[in-house]
Structure 1
Amino acid sequence: MMSAMAFVMIQEKLYDAEFVRTHCVGFDETQMPEGAAGAESYKDYILGTRDGQPKSPEWAEAITAVPRETIARLAREYATSKPAVLYQGYGMQRRAYGEQAVRAGCVLAAITGNVGVPGGWASGIALQAPDGGPFWLVFPTGENPVKAMIPSFLWTEAVLRGKTMGEADGVRGAAKLDTNIKCIWAVACNALINQHANVNRTARILADEKRVEFLLVQDNFLTPTARFADVLLPVCTQFETWGLEDGWKYGDEVILMPKIVEPPFETKSDYRICAEIAARLGLEQAYTEGRTEREWIAWSLDRYRQSRFPGLPTLDEFEASNAGVYSLPVERPAVAFTDFRRDPVKHPLPTPSGKIEIFSKRLHDMSNPAEIPAVPKYIQEWESAFGPEAKKFPLSAIGHHYLSRVHSTLEGIDWLEEAFPQRLFINPLDAGPRKVKNGDLVRVFNDRGAVIVPCRLTLRIMPGVVALPQGAWWTPDKNGVDRRGSVNVLSSERWTPLAFGNAQHTIMVQVEKAEAA
């Protein structure tokens, strides 16, 4: 759809031609970067100069089901509103080729000149904070002698075939891995099972002791991940230890989280658990540096008061105030890329060209145009309503955030479940042929697994799409069918080609009425 919006802007000359000329590369054949002469520009792609398919609103309507008139109207409104924000959330990139949608949004912001201006937008969900930089309260981590890193979504691949993984698999800090993952230490993490894709496959990997020889889990609750632990260490809650937070992403606040009560029974804080393990290894002093949790909080506040915020209270002052929240002074709003907009020559971006790269020479040099094109393109997903799998699994499923949980946290709380019960949301046009009524149990399945949940008929979801709130705890019955509604029973472990990210919203399923248990 964003490509179709660009088509309207180009055809009707609604884009900011001057900003594109001075601040971007790769928009048309006159702006191609060095070494890419003759390659397809963004304008060529949008107009269909080479592939013969203009990316018009009519073309996009056939794919998205959004009326062509709506697409054209949105394009005109966005292009002519100054300033304008096209704000992307964390969601569209969690699909096959999700990088393309993110890049397409950034290009729309660029060609309309909405970069480096108050009220504009440049990319993604950016961190907003005083003085133009993020205020992250962090503790020293020391120097890790192991430099190799893997994309977090590919941890199952590192268990299965770590020694074969290299740069092509997203490995950083080493040419390749020296070993498969054999030991996992999971702290406050239900992502090993519940929040990872293809739960049934992941469960088989974790259950195979020849692959994962040891799994240590620290958590407050007996989560689906914790049930696979060889050793499970019970952790106290945030009310029973000291903590310090900032106003996540957008806030200008420092939030003190004081210890209210002692940890019950054998529970300990994550810090105390790690300190005790370090002590048994003879490393307690190196790990704690002689500080308790409360003393680390005081150290962190002192550090930021000295380096950035002179008015930040000491821990004793913070406690005495009983406020719990300290608002940082903001003298001016932070607007990204203002210097670049004012003078792109003196203040270039950290890109090879120093400009906004609508055409990326680095991506071009990867020589994988089918999956990693140099300009943002629509690529048909590996599971979609337009593929052969749709004959067997005709409905597109998404796993959306839900008001009863934060991912898998707060699952199982009766009051929240009463207010927002786990349901499959389905359009009446899809429910009718399946003889499904509101509240009926339905079986949602594909080749990776099946879940049985009640359904909710609603016009708020389009025909051909169903939605199952993500985060429900995987609860398989004796036949391996999940009875709680964990959407990751259905999702694929296949990753996006450029960022090696999860594509857990790319799911095709079938729905049928289920018999009562």
Structure 2
Amino acid sequence: MRIRKEHGPASVFAGSYGWRSSGVLHKAQTLLQRYMSLAGGYSGHLGDYSTGAAQVIMPHVVGSTEVYEQQTTFPMILEHSQVIVLWGVNPLNTLKIAWTSTDEQGIEFFNQLKASGKTVIAIDPMRSETIEFFGDKAQWLAPNMGTDVAMMLGIAHTMVTKSLHDKAFLDKYTTGYDKFEEYLLGKSDKTPKTAAWAEAICGVPAKQIELLAEIFSKNRTMLMGGWGMQRQQYGEQKHWMLVTLAAMLGQIGTEGGGFGFSYHYSNGGNPTRSGGILSAISSTVAGGSSAGNDWATSDAVNSFPLARIVDALEKPNTKYQHNGHEGTYPDIKMIWWAGGANFTHHQDTNRLIKAWQKPEMVVVSECYWTAAAKHADIVLPITTSFERNDLTMTGDYSNQHLVPMKQVVAPLYESRNDFDVFADMSELLKAGGRKVYSENKEEMDWLREFYDAAQKGARAQRVNMPQFNQFWQANKLIEMRNNEKNDKYVRYAEFRADPIMNPLGTPSGKIEIFSKTIEGFGYKDCPPHPSWLEPVEWKGSAKEGQLQLLTAHPAHRLHSQLNYAKLRELYAIADREPITIHPDDAKARNIANGDLVRAFNDRGQVLVGALVSDGIKPGIVCIHEGAWPDLDPAAGGICKNGGANVLTKDIPTSQLANGCSGNTALVYIEKYTGPVLPLTAFEPPKGESAKA
């Protein structure tokens, strides 16, 4: 409270973000912010690390965030699509991930897709698990990393010069195409974006690029785009250009055609079911100041882009641009991080560590001794999902199941539920605070309330759900009913049928290939139409010996979760995180499969185990994200566990979105010949117990 009184609510950063346990009640970040709202406000965050660029650019282009939206359904793709393009997407890995819990239907869809005989084209600098899964049932094209826009421009240029683009669709459903075409044909900058021009940048042969234009335009084509390509400098351009390419094909809103950015996440495309949907606890308390009491119930008093947290710590009270607005970073004196592992998902770990020393106090609520917990002043031991009761849905889009999450064991050692921690702390704010925070409800009261509301919603759709006591005692999930209409859902079908009556949420009501709004911002790093912009670190700027670093999602864990588990034995090499290296790059450096390797640049260095494979494009190496940082000050700060973000560059995608650029980095690699450095990533701090 002293910090808040002396420096104001903006000095307390509670924009805590990260992965979490499933559940509608025990949501650490929400519960923290609920408490901070009662305390008088806090500084929060905008956006996230997953889709920081896309979720800001897409509303300007199609009127919604797009990345967290239901997709044209699996049945419609299997029935109508002829060509499926997996552009920078690895669904066999990432479909394990959902914001709630996965409904696990996406893998079966891809099994059916593989057996269907449809044309599948995978565009990725690495032969991902998904590409391995399809085998000879898919064509793999490996562009240079970060050059997707150039490749798409080459396809688009071919379409125009061969009259393969759908002029009628562009005239009726889009705005600004004419200005984009001037750029595409080189009329505005004297550089035609030909297939040959694209080849020089992306490395894919011009003839192949021209062939893609033919294939895409002459077949019902679904472009499935991933998120990794927008986690790069100028990442906004990637999704904008893919939408533009889909618009030129003229298939948006058709059965099995168009584009989608969430087929790889939470099983987007699994049809939405009919039935009950759980609500969740709010970050604000019922009966706030508008109800006449004297409790401060404000939300964040200052919010800034999440991926710019280090900028905020380094440069308090300075101004920045974001999505057409000028903001001011708060002067953060205290950080409270709950339910997230920011030391694994933020770029440039060494810079983060230095910035983390600036606040007077850092509090972390955690179940494990993560790197974030090790860099805190105070650590509150919190229960795992096995030590508390909760409810969840499966499928962020399908809402296929309602699942009881019954407590398995009593809280171990001194751990407590986040809810109880913050409820008791609310009592310290003022007498009666616990009652206000909890709304005079305990754990099972909340769960019953959430369930009863879902049951009421189900009843309105003529779906029966048992009474709560019966459901809880049975301890079985409820599967919601199929909806035949939803089975045939086609994204943008209503817009295509009548763009006047069903306009998009853009200023024009149409797909904005050229955005007057963005033009008005005047950002040099985000032009008003999709453009190829050279990143500061990529193949074209590499010095001799430098390689591009890809930080893909891992196959055997969810980001940093499970890095400490026995699963690690399935993939660790030389007891370290693997680094995938092309045989040509390994040979040039005298590195053999299984060797211990040092990867380094001017931001840091890591130890990794060599996985030599032709499943990655020469000039690129891959260290999967999520390894727990294990920096050794006595050994030059080297990360002994291969944390990829020790090497990545902490710069914004652009002034528009300020997303993270975790896939913008150049590194050197060499065979490690130094002293043996034991792994300590999973050990508690000295003097602390693993039980803490």
**Residue deviations 1:266-321, cap 9 Å, x none?**
11122222222222223211211111222212211222333466434443232244
1:204-223, aligned counterparts within 5 Å? 204-206=354-356, 208=357, 211-223=358-370
| Residue of 647, 651, 659 corresponding to 1:501 | 659
2:281 maps to amino acid? F
Matched, 1:200 2:345: no
Matched, 1:470 2:613: no
Structure-2 separation of matches of 1:112 and 1:79: 6
Report the 3-state secondary structure (helix = DSSP H, G, I; strand = E; otherwise coil) of the residue aligned with 2:362: strand
Matched, 1:241 2:399: no
Structure-2 separation of matches of 1:136 and 1:108: 37
Report the 3-state secondary structure (helix = DSSP H, G, I; strand = E; otherwise coil) of the residue aligned with 1:225: helix
Report the 3-state secondary structure (helix = DSSP H, G, I; strand = E; otherwise coil) of the residue aligned with 2:309: helix
Residues 277 and 393 of structure 1, relative CA distance in 2, 3 Å threshold: farther
**Residue deviations 1:113-160, cap 9 Å, x none?**
222233234453286663899967422332534442111111112222
2:237 maps to 100
| Residue of 265, 278, 281 corresponding to 1:139 | 281
**Residue deviations 1:375-425, cap 9 Å, x none?**
1011111111212xx215620001111122211111111333334542111
| Residue of 470, 473, 476 corresponding to 1:323 | 476
Matched, 1:125 2:283: no
Note the C-alpha offset of 1:332: 1.6
Matched, 1:340 2:490: no
**Residue deviations 1:44-67, cap 9 Å, x none?**
111112222221221111111122
Report the 3-state secondary structure (helix = DSSP H, G, I; strand = E; otherwise coil) of the residue aligned with 1:432: helix
1:71 maps to amino acid? I
2:166 maps to amino acid? D
Report the 3-state secondary structure (helix = DSSP H, G, I; strand = E; otherwise coil) of the residue aligned with 1:273: helix
Structure-2 separation of matches of 1:504 and 1:467: 12
2:375 maps to amino acid? F
| Residue of 291, 294, 297 corresponding to 2:447 | 297
Matched, 1:115 2:269: no
2:549 maps to 397
Matched, 1:412 2:570: no
2:213 maps to 75
Q: Please, which runs of 5 or more residues in structure 2 have no aligned partner?
A: 1-150, 285-296, 677-692
| Residue of 290, 311, 333 corresponding to 1:182 | 333
2:58 maps to none
Contact between 2:598 and 2:671, CA under 8 Å: does it hold in 1? yes
Aligned residues: 494
**Residue deviations 1:418-475, cap 9 Å, x none?**
3454211100111111111111111111100011112111000010000001111111
1:48-67, aligned counterparts within 5 Å? 48-67=186-205
Deviates more, 1:217-226 or 1:136-145: 136-145
Q: Please, which runs of 5 or more residues in structure 1 have no aligned partner?
A: 29-40
Report the 3-state secondary structure (helix = DSSP H, G, I; strand = E; otherwise coil) of the residue aligned with 1:444: strand
Deviates more, 1:501-510 or 1:305-314: 305-314
1:31 maps to none
1:339-358, aligned counterparts within 5 Å? 339-358=494-513
Matched, 1:436 2:591: yes
Structure-2 separation of matches of 1:133 and 1:377: 44
Higher relative contact order (CA 8 A, sep 6+): 2
1:34 maps to none
Note the C-alpha offset of 1:507: 0.5
Structure-2 separation of matches of 1:453 and 1:294: 46
Contact between 2:273 and 2:399, CA under 8 Å: does it hold in 1? no
1:281 maps to 429
Q: What is the percent sequence identity of the aligned residues?
A: 31
Residues 315 and 56 of structure 1, relative CA distance in 2, 3 Å threshold: farther
Residues 139 and 94 of structure 1, relative CA distance in 2, 3 Å threshold: same
Report the 3-state secondary structure (helix = DSSP H, G, I; strand = E; otherwise coil) of the residue aligned with 2:304: coil
| Residue of 502, 511, 515 corresponding to 2:669 | 511
TM-score (ref. length: structure 2)? 0.68
Q: CA RMSD in A?
A: 2.3
1:36 maps to none
Contact between 1:424 and 1:454, CA under 8 Å: does it hold in 2? yes
Note the C-alpha offset of 1:328: 4.6
Residues 329 and 144 of structure 1, relative CA distance in 2, 3 Å threshold: farther
| Residue of 460, 484, 490 corresponding to 2:641 | 484
Residues 134 and 88 of structure 1, relative CA distance in 2, 3 Å threshold: farther
Structure-1 separation of matches of 2:175 and 2:278: 33
Contact between 1:252 and 1:328, CA under 8 Å: does it hold in 2? no
Structure-1 separation of matches of 2:187 and 2:226: 32
| Residue of 538, 560, 579 corresponding to 1:424 | 579
Structure-1 separation of matches of 2:458 and 2:258: 26
Contact between 2:639 and 2:646, CA under 8 Å: does it hold in 1? yes
Residues 21 and 178 of structure 1, relative CA distance in 2, 3 Å threshold: closer
Residues 509 and 393 of structure 1, relative CA distance in 2, 3 Å threshold: farther
Deviates more, 1:456-465 or 1:233-242: 233-242
Contact between 2:404 and 2:475, CA under 8 Å: does it hold in 1? no
1:487 maps to amino acid? A
TM-score (ref. length: structure 1)? 0.90
**Residue deviations 1:154-196, cap 9 Å, x none?**
1112222231135x15697xx64473111111111111x2211
Structure-2 separation of matches of 1:429 and 1:409: 33
2:180 maps to amino acid? Y
